[in-house]
Copies of this chain bind each other. A is one copy, B any other.
Amino acid sequence: MTVFDVAAEAGVSLATVDRVLNGRKGVRPATIGRVRSAVERLGFKRDSFAAGLATRRQERFCFMLPARGPNSFMNALRESVAAAAARMEENRVIVRILDYPAFDEQMLCRRLAELDPRDCDGVAAVAIESPPVRQEIDRLVARGIPLVTLVSDVSPSRRAHFHGIDNKAAGRVAASLIGRMVHVPRGKIAMVVGRMTLHDHADRRLGFEQVMRREFPQLALLPPIEGLDDSTVTEKLVGRLLALNEDIVGLYSIGAGNRGIIAALAHRRPSQAALPPPVTVAHELTPHARDALLSGLFTAVLHQDQEQEVADAIAALRALNRDEADFPARTVRLQIFLRDNVP
């Protein structure tokens, strides 16, 4: 069952069948119909190996990530991208990793501006929410380089898709878990973000506060503190917060810097250590978060499958590159890990 058989059945040549199959133009409607019905009758399915071999195009994509730093989530993401790059190489997809200093909008803009349509067929970027970035993304798209956002979105912008979890839902889930698991009648809830300009962190906070206010009004929300995704900074700030508020019964770690959270929780002052530890929900299952979960220091960890995010982003870029407008972008499933289902 090959294109050849279809050609014979339809009474046309190989080339015409190919044109119809791939929606190329320059075929009379009547002929299209004949080929279509031949395909139908024979139950023809294209052999993707042969198709892949015959098209010798190479696709070149760029991943724009924050530079290597203390944020283990981002480091892990970089590994995922590198692994995907290696795997995709045999599918004629070349993935290059570029980076910008974390939180640095200006450098991100500059890096995006440098991209040349002649050696880059698409970009996946962990973005920062800001007008200049949005503008630069739009300019990139105008130049003919499609862009998808990864992990953290920029919206509204001309980016084609966002690949990541539903961060508002993540915040709501965290609130549900904490609210239902806190057993005291009242108390305070702390939030730690990396930085508010990160769209994903802002969304998580939004969802969290929404559910907290509506369903657990007896728990008081402290204003969020910014730990810059850095565990040293985070430890200092959280330590101070815990010392100042003896009655913190819940803690939501929205960003990175979990090592700092763990350290602060582990070193609570004796007066606090007597109380039950706050119900703590963190993000990203790094090795540290994993240990904190196993030791009972964290109650739950909300995680996103980075491999899937990366794979989805590459799939989307390929589709964009082939002008498949109807590519279905899916939201990466939020994963909840408790002590008993740690991977």
Q: Hey, which bits of chain A sit against chain B, CB under 8 A?
A: 45-53, 89-92, 166, 169-170, 172-173, 175-177, 180-181, 183, 207, 211, 299, 305, 333-336, 338-341, 343
Contact = CB atoms under 8 A, between A and B. Distances in A.
A50 B48 contact: no
7 contacts: A47-B53, A48-B49, A49-B49, A52-B53, A172-B341, A305-B333, A333-B341
A47 B58 CA distance: 12
Copy number in the complex reads: 2
B339 A45 contact: no
Given A47-B53, A336-B338, A336-B341, 12 more contacts: A49-B49, A50-B53, A52-B52, A169-B340, A172-B340, A176-B339, A181-B181, A183-B183, A211-B340, A305-B333, A333-B335, A334-B341
A170 B47 contact: no
Nearest to A180: B181
Contacts of A341: 166, 169-170, 172-173, 333-334, 336
A172 B45 CA distance: 45
A251 to B, nearest CB: 16
A262 to B, nearest CB: 20
A180 to B, nearest CB: 5
A305 B330 CA distance: 15
A-B residue pairs, 6 tightest by C-beta: A49-B52, A172-B340, A336-B336, A49-B53, A48-B90, A50-B53
B90 A47 contact: yes
A75 to B, nearest CB: 21
B91 A176 contact: no
Contacts of A207: 340
A335 B46 CA distance: 35
Q: Which of A52, A338, A343 has the largest number of chain B CB atoms within 10 A?
A: A338
Contacts of A335: 333, 335-336
A56 to B, nearest CB: 10
A212 to B, nearest CB: 12
A299 B49 CA distance: 46
Given A49-B53, A53-B47, A53-B53, A176 B338 contact: yes
Q: Which of A53, A175, A299 has the largest number of chain B CB atoms within 10 A?
A: A53
A98 to B, nearest CB: 21
A343 B338 contact: no
Contacts of A169: 340-341
Contacts of A176: 338-340
A265 to B, nearest CB: 18
Contact of A338 (B49, B52, B173, B333): B173
A292 to B, nearest CB: 16
Contacts of A333: 305, 335, 341, 343
A89 B53 contact: no
Nearest to A340: B172
A300 to B, nearest CB: 9
A52 B90 CA distance: 12
Contact of A46 (B90, B170, B211, B343): B90
Contacts of A48: 49, 52, 90-91
